[in-house]
């Protein structure tokens, strides 16, 4: 599936991913490839992105505070204050603060 994480300042992340876990209003939930369409409000917490490889990803000031988990090099995290997520046609877009 394809994931974009967008803030008012920039596109922080844009890539193919294996899955994404987000802090929903009723608790954390995860979306995998071919997930049913969904729109949800997000609470403060961490977005966890599972990637197949990090070879093509860019980590710099423009891409915000995306962090790599030291114990698992295929998991990236990003702290958000709030946001929304839309999943449709195997593309997820997170609008985050």
- Of the candidate ranges 6-10, 58-62, 66-70, 82-86, the one whose mean pLDDT is the lowest: 58-62
Q: How confident is the model at residue 64 (pLDDT cuts 50, 70, 90)?
A: low
Burial (CB < 10 A; 0-12, 13-18, 19+), residue 1, is: middle
What total of structural domains would you count in the chain?
1
Secondary structure E strands in 1-97:
2-6, 11-16, 19-24, 27-32, 38-42, 45-50, 67-69, 72-80, 83-88, 91-96
SS3 75: strand
Residue 47 contacts residue 24 (beta carbons within 8 Å): no
Q: What is the pTM assigned to this prediction?
A: 0.86
CATH number at residue 49: 2.60.15.10
Residue 18 sits in which domain range?
2-96
pLDDT of amino acid 63 = 52
pLDDT of amino acid 57 = 58
């Amino acid at each position: 599936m394809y994931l974009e994480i967008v803030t008012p300042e920039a596109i922080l992340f844009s890539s193919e991913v294996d899955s994404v876990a987000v802090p929903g209003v009723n608790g954390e939930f995860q979306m995998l490839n071919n997930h049913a369409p969904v729109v949800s409000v997000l609470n403060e917490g961490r977005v966890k992105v599972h990637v197949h490889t990090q070879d093509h990803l860019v980590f710099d000031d423009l891409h915000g505070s995306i962090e790599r988990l030291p114990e698992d090099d295929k998991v990236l995290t990003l702290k958000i204050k709030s946001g929304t997520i839309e999943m449709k046609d195997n593309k997820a877009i997170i609008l985050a603060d």
